[in-house]
Amino acid sequence: MSDLTTAKSIASAVRTRKALAAEVITASLERIRRTNEELNAFCDVYEEDALAAARRIDSRIANGEDVGSLAGVPVAVKDFTPLKGKRTTYGSLVYKDNIGEFDPIYVQRLRAAGAIVIGKTNTPEFAYSGFCHNKVFGTTVNPWDTTRTSGGSSGGAAAVVASNMVPLAEGTDMGGSIRGPASYCGCVGLKPSLGRIPMDILKSVHDTISHFGPLARTVEDAWLFLDATKGPNECDPMSLPDQAIPFDIDGGVKGLRIALSVDLGHFAVDDAVAKAMQTTADALRAAGAIVNPIDMPWDASIAEAFRTSWRVYLAAFEGDLLKKKRDLLDPDLADCLEEGFKIDGPTYKRVEILRRKIWLDLVSVFESHDALLCPTTAGTAPLASLRDKDFKSVRADGKLQAKGMTHPFNFTPHCPALSIPCGVGPGPLPIGAQIVGRRFDEATVLKIGRAVEKCGLMGDLRPRIFAE
């Protein structure tokens, strides 16, 4: 089974009966048993359910049925996402015994495509943090270096994919929670256009920063996840009409115009990351793309606006817990909730004024370019012992000392953004390039991502913890 390391290869082998889905799931479960203890990335594994589902798929194939594009592929679900009849804690002691009441639309669609949900992955409490830790399950660490974070909030998802426990995992992205972990763990992470995959798990149905999306080891696998789960549903009034999103396996970028911004105008970027971005740009030029360095007119006010928005969001959704269950909450989360209650209405509404500027600035870039290339994170994975509050200072030169460079593109939510491994820094630790596209243009983003993937910028390097 060692050659079946991608969703594409697994599904092809299962559909043609070169492998049984039950064999694939058994192999994945064995990799989880050997690997998860060190990473603490899976918080629940559904061994019996997954094997039963695999046997059903094998039986259907034996009867000549078409079981779908993800036949037999093991998939992980984030513990921020409910599953019917399964424990769903949201990383919170408040919900440590909570049982999910429904399966989200995307889960239903994955199963209809033949995928098999094999377990739940760890996340910070209510997905609030860029570090993957909580009081229920503890800390998830990075497969490249276990003293480092796997990122947040989809840190468990990135770790199980990067370490080869499963080829695909679901993440949610509300400020970079797919892309940041993908960058830190050296895998692919896609924030699709807002509404491309129906979002039906939030307390609000008119949220404009939240996305479901895949973490994968290849761009094509990310596309397979997207292709199986996209399309409208009445549960999400923001969901988009169905649209074919072709995938260019050749990654042809000849003639594409790509804007390059190493710092997005205001981030303090590590030298290794800046160097990796230049190498990525050169590789795309060699593949025929036109890559133009640009200056983005953005400053650290964007990060402050995002913090304002995020704190109000958290306070509105979970703020009642301060009075009822404060002792059970992560202290940093409790601080966020308190700060959210202190923000007045006009201050919160002014965020939308800044969002308009951010949007028009990006529109200006896309008037002459097909996509924007920038880092996903300003540095490689930080130590797992650090916290978000260690990364929000502004230097004397106005540059922001931050982890992720992702949140501006949650403020432009209809623009898809992909993180793709593009090099390594000291450690070695992986570096991710972020490719941002025009509204609803996942096809171009994936095309450029595939071109970067084909360049082989990671060489033969892979995580220290990698389950064969």
Residue 302 DSSP label: H
Contact of 199 with 236, CB cutoff 8 Å: yes
Q: Residue type for 134, please?
A: N
Q: What is the DSSP annotation of 47-103?
A: HHHHHHHHHHHHHHHHTT----TTTT-EEEEETTS--BTSB--TT-GGGTT-BB---
Residues with catalytic function: 78, 153, 177
Spell out the alpha helix ranges (H) of 204-300: 219-229, 271-286
Q: 426-429 contacts: CB < 8 A, separation 24 or more? A: 426/272, 426/380, 427/144, 427/145, 427/148, 427/380, 428/144, 428/461, 429/142, 429/144, 429/145, 429/148, 429/184, 429/380, 429/381
Q: How far apart are CA 162 and CA 16, in angstroms?
A: 27
Neighbours of 65 (CB within 10 A): 11
Q: Pull the structure tokens for residue 141.
A: 């660490």
For residue 42, give the 3-state DSSP assignment.
Answer: strand
User: For residue 258, which of 449, 432, 404, 453 has the smallest C-alpha distance?
Assistant: 449
Residue 355 half-sphere exposure toward CB, CA atoms < 13 A: 18
Neighbours of 215 (CB within 10 A): 34
| Residue bearing tokens 């503890």 | 138
